[in-house]
Amino acid sequence: MASSSSLSRSWLYHVFLSSDSIIPSDVDIEENVVYPTEFLNIVKVAGLPRHCLKLKVGVPIMCLRNMDVTDSLCNGTRLIVTQLLPHVIQGRIITGNDISGEAVWIPRMFVTPPDTKFPFRMRRRQFPVTLAFAMTINKSQGQTLENVGLFLPKPVFSHGQLYVALSRVKSRSGLKILITDKEGKPHTKTTNVVYKQIFQNIS
């Protein structure tokens, strides 16, 4: 069950389509159950690249898999696309402690989601990347950036998460925060979630 995999050009961006299939496993699947390619193409789970990727030179992307630790190509690494080819993406790493500016290459590869709600395992042959104009607070951990824009439409929900977001930036001048309520109206404060238990043993 494989979809067409192609590279086309429309104006300034390229469209990459994945090839999806079911992995033979020890999970029994009824013989009369058929999972068409169109169904596999719409599967969206965490850590799995989209079936249809629309990319162009200059856009920021983020790796979804650990590929090459020596070249800092790890899960969560952000890059700027510098060249697009049918089977590889050339990029320049823009986050991390060792930013050399040298070109790195990301190939098409088989990606299997770690866990799904379906009674089968699937694999998707696609570039293991996603667009990264923004990222979650959890994905930003371990990164140090010159400028950070923090959008908080609602308070963070776990202990220390606000601190993680604020500490990603090198200086106060590089930090901008937008706090809004449910109606989208701007506010000047938010709730900082801290577990009270951590203060019990402080004298």
On whether both 152 and 118 belong to a single domain, the answer is no
On whether the pTM is more than 0.85, the answer is no
> What is the domain extent for residue 156?
138-199
Please state whether beta strands 148-152 and 175-180 pair in parallel, antiparallel, or not at all (unpaired).
parallel
| C-alpha to C-alpha distance for 55 and 59, rounded to whole angstroms | 7
Measured between its terminal Cα atoms, the distance across the chain in Å is 64
Q: What is the pLDDT along the chain (203 residues), one digit of tens a residue?
A: 444 444 444 457 899 999 998 877 645 555 546 778 898 999 888 888 999 999 999 999 999 988 887 777 888 888 899 999 989 999 998 876 656 677 889 999 999 887 667 777 888 999 999 998 877 777 777 677 778 888 888 888 777 788 888 887 888 888 888 888 888 888 888 877 776 666 666 65
pLDDT attached to residue 19: 93
Query: What is the Cα–Cα distance from 138 to 17, expressed in whole angstroms?
Result: 28
pLDDT of residue 9: 44
Q: What are phi and psi of 169, to 5 degrees?
A: -100, 150
Assess whether 108 and 190 both reside in one domain: no
Same domain? For 188 and 126 the reply is no
Confidence at residue 199, expressed as pLDDT on a 0 to 100 scale:
63
Number of structural domains the chain divides into: 2
Could you give the CA distance from residue 49 to residue 52 in angstroms, rounded to a whole number?
A: 8
Are 82 and 151 in the same domain? Answer: no
Indicate whether 26 belongs to any domain.
Answer: yes
In a domain? residue 1: no
**What pLDDT score was predicted for residue 81?**
94
| 168 within some domain | yes
72 and 19 in a common domain: yes
- 160 lies in the same domain as 71: no
Last residue of a domain, one of 131, 157, 185: 131
